[in-house]
Structure 1
């Protein structure tokens, strides 16, 4: 599988998540305050809730339902009630295009 265009940079608003689906894999895509684009699994590991409906704060995305925040860089939960990480996907920017390969996840350290 290879990276696919999921949206354009102009479709992203700083510090707001956008839900996309690539080959059936739901992701939350975020343009952070530093201008970096992140893609993490869109489903909260605590409550099966879309993270794209949550709140971006710094380098985290908080689930609106129960308040678990996940690192945009590692996918690790930063607080309870979630304790399992979400996947983090490699993002490639080509011009204005945001490309993601759902088969390529970043290693969680």
Structure 2
């Protein structure tokens, strides 16, 4: 599995999100407490950037229509979205965030 160094943990707002691009894939990095998550940055319902939304209770909210997505599974927790967003593996080493887009590499 190949991980790519994306940014420093400090670059991600506390209880917030940072939109980045990894190999042409839009990714929202989300920090809640000491945890960092990575989900696809495009809402499965309205194709807007999730990283511009609010982060709370283990979810990220799409600012346009209010769908929330679970940061662990990518599944929507309320309508109008019905399709999950992709989630990616994250590791933090020496204060830096690494993300793997691949599921089997």
Find the counterpart in structure 1 of residue 60 from structure 2: 61
Structure 1 length as normaliser, TM-score?
Answer: 0.91
After TM superposition, list the pairs within 5 Å mapping 1:95-106 onto structure 2.
95-104=94-103
Runs of 4+ in structure 1 off by over 3 angstroms are none
Find the counterpart in structure 1 of residue 13 from structure 2: 13
Find the counterpart in structure 1 of residue 87 from structure 2: 88
After TM superposition, list the pairs within 5 Å mapping 1:31-70 onto structure 2.
31-33=31-33, 35-70=34-69
Q: How many residues align?
A: 104
Shift of 1:104: 3.0
Find the counterpart in structure 1 of residue 78 from structure 2: 79
CA RMSD of aligned residues (A): 1.3
Shift of 1:22: 0.5
Report which stretch shifted further, 48-57 or 10-19: 10-19
Deviation per residue, 1:30-51 (Å, 9 max, x gap): 1103x10000010000000000
Find the counterpart in structure 2 of residue 23 from structure 1: 23
SS of the counterpart of 2:92?
strand
Equivalents in 2 of 1:21, 1:96: separation in Å?
Answer: 19
Deviation per residue, 1:32-73 (Å, 9 max, x gap): 03x100000100000000000101012000000000000001
Equivalents in 1 of 2:54, 2:21: separation in Å?
Answer: 19
User: What runs of 5+ residues in structure 1 fail to find an aligned partner?
Assistant: none
